[in-house]
Amino acid sequence: MTAATALALSLLIPFAGSILIALAAGNANLREAVTVTTAVLLFADVLWLLSMATAAGPAPALMIGEIMPGLTLALAIEPLGMMFGMIASGLWILNSIYSIGYMRANLEHKQTRYYVCFAIAIGSAVGVAFAANMFTLFIFYEILTISTYPLVAHKETAEARAGGRTYLGVLIGTSIGLQLVAIIWTWVATGTLDFTKGGIISGKVAEAMVPVLLALYVFGIGKAALMPFHRWLPAAMVAPTPVSALLHAVAVVKAGVFTVMKVMVYIFGIDFLAATGSSNWLIWVAAATLLAASIIAMTKDNLKARLAYSTVSQLAYVTLGAALATSMGVLGGSMHIAMHAMGKITLFFCAGAIYTATHKTEISDMDGLGRLMPFTYGAFLIGALSVIGLPPMGGSWSKWYLMLGAADADQLVVIGVLMVSSLLNVAYLLPMVGRGFFTLAPDAPGHGVPQAQAAGAAPVPGSGRPPIREAPLFCVVPLCLTAAGCIVLFIYGDALYRLLEPMVRP
């Protein structure tokens, strides 16, 4: 199998899969079997690509076609995209398994539409990851937006539709209103949109205008949720939890920060940015977002809302890393894409599991649940630590490199900011765990049992300690795996570093 075929398959598998899923609408088991198989196949294909990308020789590339003279639809592998591709396709497997448990346990409607859109979304995420030029990336970026809209508005309640409207409004508004202009500007100025090491802007756009162009890009990439364009993220919380997991950990937000990173490294070129200082302003916007979001997160009692704002703040880390325009910063930011993905998906899986088992959404109601749901809470703790950035969790690496990057850029204030925000992370994540384990549920026996039964979790024959009432296995297994993933990423952080390192190597 040649590299080109592998690339073609990486798009073909999910999109073909979505069709098959639609065809299997009649039979739930078959439909979900197809989903998982597609996910596994895709991951296998991506791993294959990884092996070829890391091997010596030219990087895999595929030219699909030319839309307008000079504007091509093309795919190519480079380290950053490779990493994002692996995250998206890998976590999709777990997410699918989790979805099966969650959607069934909560008797959600229109599950076929859900799985179809899910497949399309992952497909376009992979497209974003492997895009060889900004034009291709933009196209998949938009498909991703459209295909996730039905997922956000899945419940079809007035609230869900309002959330969907905000979601679509902000994302399409920014992407068409700002990003497209930026892209066409780049096209008119440079005559190319190919991602090129060292960037294409240098010398083509008046230096004074570079910050403007940069602003059009970073704010145009609404999926990066840089304030003030972060509103869509909390709004999208109305979606079913697996969707939130997809949006906040796997596909959407990561596609956002990934695109930011891509633009910084391959359109502007970090050396050019560093030389002109055009991205300094962005450091402060990112830092502000980072702190503000953390503070807002603390005020939220709704677990998913809190996690949402935590995401906004974590994304800012990545943007910050890019804005530092030092190789360490870029590497740290890029690694944080992976680290945060693993940590945050764990947290969302847990939130979903708690909801499935007890139908509780407000943190203040969750006293004592830790003892009822030890696995879930254990996983939550691990995920939280990773997000905070404490060893031995993957998150520690990315924050460490971010610090180094800030140091390289002589941005001592930024280092301070990172410190503070880590403390804030502790403040809004750990109390949740504390409540879970060290307070007693006011209604320990009785409450929540029916749902638990409905959710099909068998009470373990109790020996003095209250019976365990976990969410269904389909929910618990994935979250344990992702939690484990956080630790694995810590151990293999170095491998990740080596994968990414070429993109900043001069």
Partner 1 sequence: MIAAHLPILQVAVPLVAAPLSVFCRRGATAWTLTFVVSIGAFLISIALLGQVLDQGVLSYQLGDWAAPWGIEYRVDAANAMVLLIISGISTVVLPYARVSIAHEVEAHNQTLFYTCYLLCLTGLLGMVITGDAFNAFVFLEIASLSTYVLVAMGAKRDRRALTAAYTYLVMGTIGATFFVIGVGLLYMMTGTLNMADLAERIPAIGANRTLVVAFAFIVTGLGLKLALFPMHLWLPNAYAFAPSAVTVFLAATATKAAVYLLLRFLFTIFGTSFPTFEPTLTYLLLPLAVIAMFAASTVAIFQVDIKRMLAYSSIAQLGYMVLGMSFATVTGLTATIIHLFNHALMKGALFMALGAVVMRFGDATIDTMRGLGRVMPWTMAAFVAGGLSLIGMPLTVGFISKWLLVTAALESGLWPIAVLVVASSLLAVIYIWRVVEAAYFEPPPEGVTAGEAPPALLIPTWILIGANIYFGIDASLTTRVAGEAARALLKTAS
| Residues in touch with partner 1 (CB under 8 A) | 65-69, 71, 73, 138-139, 142-143, 146, 153, 156, 161, 165, 168-169, 172-173, 176-177, 180-181, 184-185, 187-188
Find the distance separating the first CA and the last CA of the chain, reported in whole Å: 31
**CA-based diameter of the chain, in Å?**
74
- Distance (Å, whole) CA 17 – CA 22: 9
- Helical (H) or strand (E) element with 163: helix 158-174
Contact 126, 42 (CB under 8 A): yes
State the minimum distance, in angstroms, from the CB of residue 194 to partner 1. 17
- Min separation Cβ 377 and partner 1, Å: 36
Closer CB to partner 1, residue 188 or residue 495?
188
**Which one, 3 or 153, has the nearer CB to partner 1?**
153
Minimum CB separation from partner 1 for residue 190, in Å? 12
Closest CA to 320 of 293, 294, 292, 281: 281
Minimum distance from residue 175 beta carbon to partner 1 (Å): 10
For partner 1, the closer of residues 131 and 247 by Cβ is 131
Residue nearer to partner 1 on the CB measure, 26 or 65: 65
In angstroms, give the least distance from the CB of 229 to partner 1. 14
Candidates 379, 351, 378, 381; CA nearest to 366 is: 351
- Phi-psi label, residue 339: left if phi above 0, alpha if psi -120 to 50, beta otherwise: alpha
Between 146 and 298, whose beta carbon lies closer to partner 1? Answer: 146
3-state helix/strand/coil string of 209-249: HHHHHHHHHHHHCHHHCCCCCCCHHHHHHHCCHHHHHHHHH
Closer Cβ to partner 1, 34 or 137, answer by number: 137
Checking phi first, is residue 374 left (phi over 0); if not, alpha (psi -120 to 50) or beta?
A: alpha
Give me the sign of the Cα torsion angle 20, 342, 11, 308: positive
Task: Provide the minimum distance between the beta carbon of 322 and partner 1 in the complex, in angstroms, as a whole number.
Answer: 24
| Pick 165 or 359: Cβ nearer partner 1 | 165
- Minimum separation from the CB atom of position 177 to partner 1 (A): 5
